[in-house]
Structure formats: structure tokens, C-alpha cells
């Protein structure tokens, strides 16, 4: 039975809430590399190592070509890939003919197939890791977007409070408040609401909608 080790991070609370609660995070165990995949493929297919590495090289090149063309790439049984773009400067005029000069590629969004999620979720056993005292690691922009997308896809609303962002990232209140201006400036988040009650949304190029038919583990 597959086993996932997890640790707990404290959930941020509203100022008037005294209750303590926590949320689980996966404790990463091993890094699976091309070598591991080649070994597995050679034991379960008639392919040799040269064939597998050639397929990886071809796939990498083809993905780069199609994604650079603005295509969404569907990988059977795995999921889809599409480029994420953003702007180095705030876009205040949708009719500005010079918008494109400030655009750049920010990353790649991966959306897993429901079948893959169902396969992963079957018969999983969770085990609390021992002697783990983690401070949430600094997130790259791609990791931040991925965490927030996963949080929303798990059934949370697209309008995110600061506490929601804390929960999704594992950051403290102070660390979240320190990073929020940079995330907004770099075009990852949009700040809405009023000064005393702000909320945030992922920028349109990163936006996802909550799933209502969640896979049952």
C-alpha cells in the first residue's frame, strides 16, 4: 500500500479566534530522476535505455515547440500543459498597442487528468512523520501559483484572504504580509476590496475554478 508521510503546519486564524488548528503537508521522500524512469521502463517494456532517453529528448523538444506556439499539450493519461505569461508592467490600458513589449513567459501550468488523480488516490495510507520541524521554504513564483491553484481546486473560493494564502503556502502572517506586495507587483496576484478588508485573486492567466466533483480518496 502506498504511504505518504506528512507533517502539520499551523493554520492562521482570524484575530478573534483562539482555536488552534493545523493543515497537512507532504514530507518529500525521494527525487525520481530519468535514471529511475529508465530502469522502471526497461523492466516493464521491451524498450532499452537508449530508446527511452531518445523518447525523452524528442518529447522535450516537441513540447518546447508546441508550447512556444501557444498550444495546449495533452499527455494521454497524465494531463495537459500550457504556458503562463505575464507582464513586467501593470496593464492599465487594454488598447495600448505596446503591451506586448512588456510580456514574458512566467512558467508552465500543469493540469492533471482526473484518471491520474483517481489512480494516485486509491488505497493511499498516510503516516505522520516523526521529528520533523519544518519552516515553510521560500517559494518560487511558479510554486506560489501552483500552491494557490491547488488550494482553489480543492474547493476553496477564488477570492483569497491573507489567511487563505497563509494556509496554502505555510507562511506565517508576517511572512505573508512581507511577500504580498512583491507577488502583486510581479503580476501573480491582484489586490481587491477596500484597505481595511482586502482580498486577492490569482492574475487572470493563472486563474482556476474550484472543482465541485472532487476525487474521493
Dist. CA 82–CA 114, nearest whole Å: 17
Burial track 35-46 (b if 16+ CB lie within 10 A, e otherwise) = eeebeebeeeee
| pLDDT of res. 73 | 96
* Other CB atoms within 10 Å distance of the CB of residue 169: 21
What angle is formed at CA 155 by the lines to CA 152 and CA 158, rounded to 5 degrees? Answer: 40
Q: Under CATH, which architecture does the 3-27+72-206 domain have? A: Orthogonal Bundle (1.10)
pLDDT tens, per residue, the chain with 217 residues: 788 988 877 665 544 555 566 778 888 777 888 999 999 999 999 999 999 999 999 999 999 999 999 999 999 999 999 998 888 888 888 888 888 888 888 889 999 999 999 998 888 899 888 765 555 678 899 999 999 999 998 888 899 999 999 999 988 888 888 899 999 999 999 999 888 889 999 999 999 887 655 444 3
Dist. CA 116–CA 203, nearest whole Å: 27
Query: Which three cell numbers, joined as nine digits, stand for 183?
Result: 507577488
Kindly list the distances between the CA atom of residue 117 and the CA atoms of 14, 83, 120, 124, 125, in Å, as whole numbers in the listed order. 33, 22, 5, 12, 15
Would you list the domain boundaries of the chain? 3-27+72-206
pTM of the model: 0.54
Amino acid at each position: 500500500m502506498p504511504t505518504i508521510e506528512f507533517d502539520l503546519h499551523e493554520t492562521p486564524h482570524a484575530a478573534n479566534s483562539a482555536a488552534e488548528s493545523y493543515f497537512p503537508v507532504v514530507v518529500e521522500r525521494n527525487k525520481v530522476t530519468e535514471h529511475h524512469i529508465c530502469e522502471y521502463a526497461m523492466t516493464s517494456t521491451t524498450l532499452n535505455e537508449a530508446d527511452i532517453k531518445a523518447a525523452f529528448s524528442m518529447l522535450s523538444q516537441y513540447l518546447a515547440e508546441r508550447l512556444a506556439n501557444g498550444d495546449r499539450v495533452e499527455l494521454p493519461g497524465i494531463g495537459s500543459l500550457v504556458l503562463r505569461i505575464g507582464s513586467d508592467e501593470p496593464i492599465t490600458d487594454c488598447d495600448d498597442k505596446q503591451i506586448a513589449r512588456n510580456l514574458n513567459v512566467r512558467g508552465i501550468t500543469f493540469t492533471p487528468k482526473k484518471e491520474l488523480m483517481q489512480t494516485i488516490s486509491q488505497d493511499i495510507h498516510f503516516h505522520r512523520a516523526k521529528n520533523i520541524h519544518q519552516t515553510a521554504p521560500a517559494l518560487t513564483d511558479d510554486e506560489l501559483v501552483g500552491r494557490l491553484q491547488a488550494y482553489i481546486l480543492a474547493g476553496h473560493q477564488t477570492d483569497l484572504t491573507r489567511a487563505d494564502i497563509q494556509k496554502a503556502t505555510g507562511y506565517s502572517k508576517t511572512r505573508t504580509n512581507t511577500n504580498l506586495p512583491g507577488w502583486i507587483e510581479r503580476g501573480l496576484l491582484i489586490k481587491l476590496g477596500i484597505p481595511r478588508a482586502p482580498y486577492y485573486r490569482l492574475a487572470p492567466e493563472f486563474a482556476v475554478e474550484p472543482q465541485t466533483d472532487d476525487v474521493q480518496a
